[in-house]
Amino acid sequence: MSSAMDIHEVLQHLPHRFPFLLIDRVLEVVPNEKIVALKNVSMNEPFFPGHYPHHPVMPGVLVIEAMAQAAAILSFKTLGTLPSDDSVYYFVGIENARFKRPVSPGDQLIFTVTIGMNRRGMWKFIGKAEVDGKVAAEADLICTLRTK
């Protein structure tokens, strides 16, 4: 089953809030398979004044973080659960990260994340971020959900 999610449902599936919530909408989510999500990149982002004032570029680590947030939503949708106050979703590893083009104010990032593996609470995701159909970044993300 494929479905979209507005910001209100995104907020139910992620504990992140401003300024660290990096997913604005989910265009499609297929549990056990993939998610397609988006972020509208605005000049009002809190990182642009310092990265870089003369030529604003979204930090690559935040592009990867946004992919991980999309992956977290996919894992919760796959498990049929929501995040709780006694659990934390952690990065365990990032592999094969590549940055192909800068992301600037006015861009719309489209994230496509697929499940590569889910064993004993360890998830491997294959993520791609695109702007205007061109790859901006890609990475394999390894994550786990742990209770505090």
Whole-prediction pTM: 0.95
Q: Could you tell me the CATH number of the domain that includes residue 35?
A: 3.10.129.10
Number of domains comprising the chain: 1
Domain range holding 60? 3-147
Confidence of residue 133 (pLDDT cuts 50, 70, 90): very high
Identity of the amino acid at 45: E
Share of the chain above pLDDT 70, in %: 99
Tokens 């660290």 locate to 20
Of 37, 127, 54, nearest in space to 91 by CA: 127
Q: Which of 8, 51, 54, 55 is catalytic?
A: 51
Is 51 known to be catalytic?
Answer: yes
Q: Where is pLDDT greater, at 61 or 83?
A: 61
Q: What is the mean pLDDT of residues 29-40?
A: 98
pLDDT over threshold 70, residue 1? no
Confidence of residue 87 (pLDDT cuts 50, 70, 90): confident
